[in-house]
Amino acid sequence: MLKKCLFVLALLGLMAVTVHADGPADPNHPGFIKIDGSNADDFGLSKWPIPTTQYWPGSWCYTPLCICEIPVVLKAGMWIRLVDCDKKKVVLEQKDCVSIGYGAGDFPCYSNCITLTFQSNFPFKLGYALSAPGPILTAGNMNVTFTPDTLPAGQNDTQLCVKAKKANLMTAAYGQEVAVAKICVTVVPNL
DSSP assignment of 123-140 equals -EEEEEEEE-B-SS-BGG
- CATH annotation of 80-189: 2.60.40
Identify the three-state secondary structure at position 21. coil
Phi, psi angle pair for 176, to nearest 5°: -95, 150
Return the closest-CA partner of residue 181 out of 129, 146, 145. Answer: 129
Residues of the chain with CATH 2.60.40: 80-189
Identify the three-state secondary structure at position 64. coil
pLDDT of residue 57: 58
Residue 95 to residue 186: CA distance in whole angstroms: 28
Least confident of 13-17, 163-167, 169-173, 179-183: 13-17
Express as a percent the part of the chain with pLDDT over 70: 68
Per-residue pLDDT of 87-119, as tens digits, reads 999 999 999 999 999 999 999 999 999 999 999
